[in-house]
Amino acid sequence: MASSTKYIFITGGVTSSLGKGIIAASLGKLLQARGFSVTIQKFDPYLNIDPGTLNPYEHGECYVTDDGAETDLDLGHYERFLNVTTSQDNNITTGRIYNNVITKERKGEYLGKTVQVIPHITDEIKCNFYKLGEDGKFDVVITEIGGCVGDIESLPFIEAVRQARWDLGPHNFLVIHLTLIPFLKAAKELKTKPTQHSVKQLLEAGIQPDILVCRTEYHLPMDVKKKLALFCNVQLNSVIEAMDAETIYDVPLLMKKEKLDERVMSKLKLSSKQNTDLENWKDFLGKLKNPTQEVNIGLIGKYVSLPDSYKSIIEAFTHAGAAIECQVNLKLISSEEINADNYESKLEDLDGILVAPGFGERGFEGKIETVRYARENKIPFFGICLGMQVAVIEFARNVLHLKDANSTEMEPHTPHPVIALMEEQKNIDQMGGTMRLGSYSCELKRASKAYSAYGKSKIQERHRHRYEFNNQYINEMESAGMVATGKNPETNLVEIVEIKNHPWFVGVQFHPEYKSTVLNPQPLFKKFIEAAIDNKKVK
Ligand code: GLN
């Protein structure tokens, strides 16, 4: 393959959840700081075509890209760290690979041949490995292989990585293996055996890792590093320590201290005179760690038992909070536990209230109570997607006195469908990839909280929903004080609602959290936190 693009593969061993995505994003950041253009892609071993149909409880948030792909939440980390957008091509699942191969088989593209895992599935995987590097836009493509080495389901990916070494040739291909060095309390020792085993498994599959990144709670003494190098067949200076960090945003700097970027560059024969100091990044970290004030914000949703379900929202608060030097104490509260009798005790400590995105009826009435409390008590309120829809329904019920107003998602026969299925959704019978997805433009009214946040009237934000504000109710709503301050200029779909007679009450049909990055905190989050600070002062 004639290409100057360098390919780095990151595999994981010993256990899952070691933070491959963060290591990938951190390495990407460091290479970016050296002047290279970098993209990161994730290959997931499960059979769903994409994570769009997965329950957030199982897999955390579904991250949506500009081009409307429903992807793994690690893509969120890539965008937040690198400040560049990703796309459908950055997240591939086994399901998609098989789907592509089977579609080709039906078209007759393999006519006469027995279609097999090797070479057909592995060829399809490799074709997708190389896709982003093909047009020469990127100097480096980092590929994170989901799951753990040794899992049955990731075998074809590992085999494809083995083959890729020969396609790409020396100095264009590198494998980093992320592993865990556990500390045994009783023996007071860091143990290397699980890593030795996991590297053996890689070797059995024909892959020699070039660099080991070792997650650890304690510094790795030299003798442990030497043992790892010796038994795992890697150079001593390629045993990289990855200590547990206070925040994920420390990891790029920790990896720089450990010279991960230098090791990668030397092995890939990448040279660069540039070595920026990540000043902006350090500035962000300084503010994040030294806040001058704090606020309590409640995130009310139904997936709170797994905070990863709200990953991008949580990170957007981190970025926006740091930008204004405010520590955001985010309290995740289950909407199922809020009712007409207890809402006050559940919500009274909060300086600001966010009602989260979501699907389905469970916990819905708790969200209505929450919005009513925020509206009546003039608590800064931010509704995202379903959160915005709830705000509209609450207003219809309690201000317009349209009893039983609802979304047709919750009650298909409601007498007042203030939120209803979008026209283009009416004939859709498949669940996967069929929502209104990806980036759409929105035109803001000048006199609005949204305009004062963004500072411009044309914005682009990402979407993931089927239902919408029902424009039949717009006049009634607006004359009672809930105003549509943002609309899609082509379709007239309401994208933002605000309540005039309230310090800060904003509901958005889109997901502003997806576009928040370390270097570009999301403006609505900043303004919402500022409103919460003001509210705290008044209290
Ligand atoms: N369930 C709502 C819809 O489909 C909201 C979706 C969301 O919050 N992402 O319109």
pLDDT band, very low/low/confident/very high, at 3 (cuts 50, 70, 90): low
Overall domain count for the chain: 2
State which ligand 1 atom lies nearest to the alpha carbon of 356.
8
b/e code 58-96 from CB counts within 10 Å (16+ = b): ebbbbbbbbebbbbbbbbbbbbbbbeebbbbebbbbbbb
Q: 84 and 123, same structural domain?
A: yes
Q: Which of 148, 214, 326, 385 is catalytic?
A: 385
Assess whether pLDDT exceeds 70 at residue 335.
yes
Among 385, 437, 462, 493, residue to substitute to test ligand 1 (most atoms within 8 Å of Cβ): 385
Instruction: Report the percentage of the chain scoring pLDDT > 90.
Output: 92
Distance 492 CA to ligand 1 centre (A): 18
Which letter does DSSP use for residue 335 in this model?
Answer: G
Nearest-5° Cα angle at 38, 32 to 42: 130
* CATH number for the domain harbouring residue 273: 3.40.50.300
CA-proximal residue: ligand 1, atom 5 (nearest): 386
Encoding tokens for residue 174?
A: 């590198």
Q: pLDDT of 465-502, one tens digit each? A: 999 999 999 999 999 999 999 999 999 999 999 999 99
Assess whether pLDDT exceeds 50 at residue 2.
no
pLDDT band, very low/low/confident/very high, at 416 (cuts 50, 70, 90): very high
Question: Taking all residues of the chain, what is their mean pLDDT, rounded to a whole number?
Answer: 95
Q: 179 and 48, same structural domain?
A: yes
State which of 251, 282, 313 marks the end of a domain. 282
Place of tokens 């003001």: 534
pLDDT reported for residue 433? 86
**Rounded-to-integer distance, Cα 437 and Cα 466, Å:** 9
26 C-beta neighbours (distance < 10 Å), count = 27
Q: 41 and 73, same structural domain?
A: yes
pLDDT reported for residue 538? 83
Q: 318 and 255, same structural domain?
A: no
State which ligand 1 atom lies nearest to the alpha carbon of 360.
1
State which ligand 1 atom lies nearest to the alpha carbon of 511.
9
Distance 294 CA to ligand 1 centre (A): 31
* CATH number for the domain harbouring residue 323: 3.40.50.880
Among 362, 410, 465, residue to substitute to test ligand 1 (most atoms within 8 Å of Cβ): 465
pLDDT reported for residue 1? 47
What is the span of the domain harbouring residue 101?
A: 6-282
Q: 461 and 360, same structural domain?
A: yes
H or E stretch at 128:
helix 122-131
Q: Is residue 203 part of a domain?
A: yes
Assess whether pLDDT exceeds 50 at residue 234.
yes
Over range 450-478, report the average pLDDT: 97
Assess whether pLDDT exceeds 50 at residue 459.
yes
State which of 238, 264, 282 marks the end of a domain. 282
Assess whether pLDDT exceeds 80 at residue 184.
yes
Q: Is 513 a catalytic residue?
A: yes
pLDDT band, very low/low/confident/very high, at 424 (cuts 50, 70, 90): confident
Assess whether pLDDT exceeds 80 at residue 539.
no
* Beta bridge partners of residue 112, listed in sequence order: none
Q: 301 and 275, same structural domain?
A: no
Q: 125 and 106, same structural domain?
A: yes
Q: pLDDT of 340-395, one tens digit each? A: 999 999 999 999 999 999 999 999 999 999 999 999 999 999 999 999 999 999 99
Q: 529 and 413, same structural domain?
A: yes
Which among 469, 466, 461, 339 is positioned nearest to 391, based on CA atoms?
469
Q: Is residue 263 part of a domain?
A: yes
Q: 20 and 152, same structural domain?
A: yes
Cis peptide leading into 119, omega within 30 of 0? Answer: yes
The half-sphere exposure of 208 on its side-chain side, counting CA atoms within 13 A, is 9
Backbone φ, ψ for residue 164 (5° rounding): -60, -35
**Rounded-to-integer distance, Cα 347 and Cα 370, Å:** 8
Least-confidence region, from 15-29, 56-70, 76-90, 425-439: 425-439
Ligand 1 binding residues, C-beta < 6 A: 357-359, 385-386, 409, 464-467
Q: 362 and 273, same structural domain?
A: no
Q: Is 58 a catalytic residue?
A: no
pLDDT band, very low/low/confident/very high, at 429 (cuts 50, 70, 90): confident
Q: Which of 70, 241, 394, 513 is catalytic?
A: 513
Distance 412 CA to ligand 1 centre (A): 15
